[in-house]
Amino acid sequence: MIHPYNNSTQTRWDHGEFKVQLNQPNNPRPIGFCDGSPEDVAELLSIAEAEGVDDVKINKKILKSGRELWTLGGQETPDDQNSLE
């Protein structure tokens, strides 16, 4: 389940309750948080499709803590672990 960004979900991320932070390129504020399940990926792709986006990229970066930062629609960088299309 995708949890949109707000003060409550940011606090939950800070306390380690979510595995994944969802970001947009060039935007310092996250758009939301999730657990990184296949269902979360499917939900992200469904949302993008509903907004008319055909080529969705999810660039994943794994942190030392084991949690992940996913940048939606961003350019892939050498540090990215993998990308879904």
pLDDT beyond 50 at 80:
no
Q: For the beta carbon of residue 73, count every other beta carbon within 10 angstroms.
A: 14
How many folded domains does the chain comprise? 1
Question: What kind and span of H or E run contains 82?
Answer: strand 82-84
pLDDT digits (tens, 9 = 90+) for 47-78: 888 888 878 889 999 999 999 999 998 444 44
Confidence (pTM):
0.81
Where residue 82 falls among pLDDT bands split at 50, 70, 90?
Answer: low
Query: Domain containing 68: what range?
Result: 3-84
Q: Which residues contact 19 (CB under 8 A, 6 or more apart)?
A: 34, 35, 36, 66, 67, 68
Placement of tokens 């994943």 in the chain: 60
User: Residue 27 has what pLDDT?
Assistant: 92
